[in-house]
Structure 1
Amino acid sequence: MPVYPTLKTVFVHIPKTGGSTISTILRRPNPLRLSKHDPSPAFDKHSSLFEHLEHLGPEAGEYFKFSFVRNPWDRLVSAYHYIIARRQEFELVANHENFESFLASFIETPSQYLDIPYFRPQSSFLIDDNGEMPLDFLGRFETYEKDLRVVLRAIDCRRMFLKHRKKSKRRDYREYYSAESNKAVGDVYFRDVENFGYDFNDGIIRKKSRPLRKL
């Protein structure tokens, strides 16, 4: 779904990274082109970068490819509350009476949760077995508006800018974890921590992400 042929753009929408707002912006009509940018129907909403590249074939090189990532501890809290609030079909999650109960189960048997898109490691959407990440730009949830403006300039998407429209008012994600559960979740998402430079205590980033193509 997040492939926009008229914009020559691929957006790899990782759940709980602010992607709904981005999709709304990209679907809006461009006043300069007088046409709506309909996404390709060939993709699932949360397809991986590699599914997009395989489908596009040789044309993939003509597309601007981008995605956003998020601190994995923060994303886990957000994903849990998102599912609970909407009582979606994931009974495995919704049956827990609180985050503490869910977290204990997640830590004990993470494999039963990681196939759910909301909990799937972000690296699996973006990085192949050789450690390559063929994106043109990787934005961060923590610097959302600044990074989104970079994307819109890069694809010449001239339209009214939308601020992130699904911000929650929960307490700081760090308050949901003990020292033990912090470490355990970091172990589950160790590839995301290493690949994208996140740190539990600092919250945003501990080091820079991998360099991508200059815009």
Structure 2
Amino acid sequence: MVISHRHRFLHFVIPKTASATLRQSLAPFADIGWPVSKYQQHVTIAAFLRSEHAPLFPDYFKFAFVRNPYDRIYSGYLQDRYAAETYPRWIRAKKPLFDEIGDDFSTYFNEYALKADLENDWQWICFCPMSAFTVDAGGKLAMDFVGRAENLAQDIATLASRLRLPLEKAPDENVRQGLCSAEPKYLPHFDRRTIFAVNATYRRDFELFGYPMLDPDSFPERAQTLPIGTAPRG
């Protein structure tokens, strides 16, 4: 979460939507939320409205960036896989799980992520639906601006105009296998069951942000388990 009292904006930071690059871009204008160690990174609207900052919600300019749900979910898996080998908190939480299932995205998502409290459990926040960060309790899109990770530079420029700030895109961070692309780049890792589950779990995200939902029948029963390499995140 990035808050600016000087410039009266709220950035609802959705995981795996070029959020590290965005936080760097916004850092010169942020009053709360940078560095991220000083404030929770990913705050849903429901959690925000329970916080001491809730009175800001009606009057501040609110925005978020989104990403194709298929690529976002696989990127979340890559993030967790990397963190489980790197950070002490994540090593304790996730390394035993990955030691058991290996590099098995389908099992990780279907048997573990989908059974978690995606909105409230920090271990699974990368899989929280984007609607939780953008839609109010009445089901209405509550953002004044929604950018796309696939169109990052142009949408940051649009945001700069809306905020009337000299906002510039920071160097890309946490990038794996190139920048976010217009077409999903991680589909070879998906099987039929996982496509069906993503369609069901993130249906509201597809509807809100206009990403095309794919037909599970066009995917294999079981995707090939591909090596994820050693590059950190996606």
Q: Which amino acid aligns with 1:45?
A: Q
Q: Is the 8 A contact 2:2 2:12 kept in 1?
A: yes
Secondary structure of 1:45's counterpart equals coil
Secondary structure of 2:65's counterpart equals strand
Secondary structure of 1:25's counterpart equals helix
Say whether 1:112 aligns with 2:141: no
**What is the TM-score when the length of structure 2 is the normalising length?**
0.71
Look up the match of 2:222: none
| Separation in 2, partners of 1:60, 1:200 | 31
Q: Is the 8 A contact 1:84 1:93 kept in 2?
A: no
**What is the TM-score when the length of structure 1 is the normalising length?**
0.76
Q: How does 1:1-215 map to 2 (within 5 A)?
A: 1-28=1-28, 37-39=30-32, 44-53=40-49, 55-87=52-84, 88=87, 89=90, 90-91=93-94, 94-95=98-99, 96-98=101-103, 101-108=104-111, 110-112=114-116, 114=118, 115=121, 116-169=124-177, 172-201=185-214
Deviation at 1:136, TM superposition (A): 0.5
Deviation at 1:117, TM superposition (A): 0.7
Q: Is the 8 A contact 1:43 1:52 kept in 2?
A: no
The gaps in structure 1 that reach 5 residues or longer are 29-35, 203-215
Q: Which amino acid aligns with 1:72?
A: P
> RMSD in angstroms over aligned alpha carbons?
2.8
Secondary structure of 2:63's counterpart equals strand
| Separation in 2, partners of 1:59, 1:188 | 30
Count the aligned residue pairs: 193
Q: 1:132 to 1:106 in 2, by over 3 A?
A: same
Secondary structure of 2:40's counterpart equals coil
Q: 1:50 to 1:39 in 2, by over 3 A?
A: same
Q: 1:160 to 1:136 in 2, by over 3 A?
A: closer
The gaps in structure 2 that reach 5 residues or longer are 179-183, 216-234
Secondary structure of 1:118's counterpart equals helix
Q: Deviations over 1:119-148 (max 9, x none)?
A: 111112221342112210011112111111
Q: Percent identity?
A: 27
Look up the match of 1:210: none
Q: Is the 8 A contact 2:157 2:168 kept in 1?
A: no
Q: Which amino acid aligns with 2:102?
A: E
Deviation at 1:67, TM superposition (A): 0.2
